[in-house]
Amino acid sequence: MKWLKVLAPVGVILVGIAATYGVVATAPEEKSSEQVDTRPLVTVDTLSPQNHTVTLTSYGEVTPLETTQLAAQVAGEVIQWSEGFIHGGLVRRGDTLFTIEKDAYEAALLQAEANLSAAQAQLIQEKAQARVAEQEARLMPDTQVTELYLRKPQLLSAQASVKSAEAMLKIAQRDLENCEVKAPYDALVVSREIGVGDYVSPGTLAATIHNIETAEVTFPIAGFDRHLLPENLSRLAVKVSTDARQASVIEGYIHRDSGVVDAATRLSHLVLRIDDPYGIDSNTQKVKFGSYVNISFKGRTLKDVYRIPQELVTNNRIWLMDSDQKLVPKKVEVVHESGKHFYIRADLANANVVMTLPEYPQPGMEVRVARDSDHLVAQKQ
């Protein structure tokens, strides 16, 4: 039995070896591992030059073309003011805003008319006497005929009296007209300082009004956009909107350049005008004084430029792929920014512009161009 104790362990070992050999022998051969392409995946495109008309944008505050502080030009009691002559009221050019008592000025006008009639009568009399003196002088020696005898001084005095009386008549007529204070233009009444029964003197402030026939907006243009302004700015059409979404647009036009560059900000300013801002002569949208508005207008047309996403431009440089599928940096000139895109100038004829960059692009980096399926997978990731 001793031999059985010795052979049993040996048999177990041999059976284990045989089983291991059988498993190894029947196992499938390992496939040779595929080589992984570690080159970054990119997409490329060839760009075509285009002409692009720049749209310049800015902002500004709507202000009246002019503001007038109305004052009385004659003294007297205020006896009436019109319905529109209130804070926030709109009045038309030539409307009577308020009336000053006229009795004294009507009397002064009658007195001036009477004085003129008397001066004219005196002139007629002097002319007649001068003609008689002239006829008599023909029969007298020349030594006895003087200018006083011919009544020339008296005639000149009568003529002067007529002119003086005419001047006083004009003043009386003007004072009577000034008893009715009229609007010098279509206006918004900002404030009214008088009421019925008030006694006013010449120079007494009666009201402050804004001209609503035309409004102005002074808006800034950045220094880097000045070269994009068109050569002729006169009456260039401008779109004005009080809503940033520009849901409703008011038409305006550029009136002038302010002619000054701000020393602190280096901004220049243009001035646009809006006709009939309160829409009293048309059905256009009302734009109130003090409103901030968004402004857009057409600038210069940039010729032979390329439109490219901003994220592809770093330090005025983009990336191209050469024929060996390697990255090559390319210097470009950024001429305009619009939304999320730059408009650039460069020699990109038939160039493969890299449109999706590796995380850390380097000159000479080898890349591979994504197929459509690869690009879709990359986008999903």
pLDDT in tens, 278-305: 988 887 778 999 999 999 999 999 999 9
Tens of pLDDT, residues 1-42: 555 555 555 555 665 665 555 554 555 555 545 678 888 999
Give 374's DSSP letter. Answer: H
- Look at residue 173 in the predicted model and tell me its pLDDT: 96
Contacts of residue 192, defined as CB under 8 A and 6 or more positions apart, other chains included, come to: 81, 85, 86, 87, 206, 207
Q: What is the mean pLDDT of residues 266-279?
A: 93
How does the average pLDDT of the chain come out, rounded?
86
Percent of the chain with pLDDT over 90: 64
Tens of pLDDT, residues 325-345: 999 999 999 998 888 999 999
Q: Which amino acid is at 168?
A: M
- Look at residue 379 in the predicted model and tell me its pLDDT: 42
Question: Is the pLDDT at 159 greater than 70, yes or no?
Answer: yes
149 band by pLDDT with thresholds 50, 70 and 90: low
Helices (H), 91-250: 103-137, 152-177
- Look at residue 375 in the predicted model and tell me its pLDDT: 46
Question: Is the pLDDT at 377 greater than 80, yes or no?
Answer: no
373 band by pLDDT with thresholds 50, 70 and 90: very low
- Look at residue 130 in the predicted model and tell me its pLDDT: 78
- Look at residue 7 in the predicted model and tell me its pLDDT: 56
Q: What is the mean pLDDT of residues 178-195?
A: 95
Q: What string of DSSP letters covers 9-66?
A: HHHHHHHHHHHHHHHHHHSPPPPPPPPP--SPEE-EE----EEEEEEEEEEEEEEES-
Alpha carbons 248 and 226: distance in angstroms, whole number: 27
- Look at residue 380 in the predicted model and tell me its pLDDT: 39
* CA-to-CA separations, 103 to 97, 109, 115, 201, in angstroms, rounded: 19, 10, 18, 16
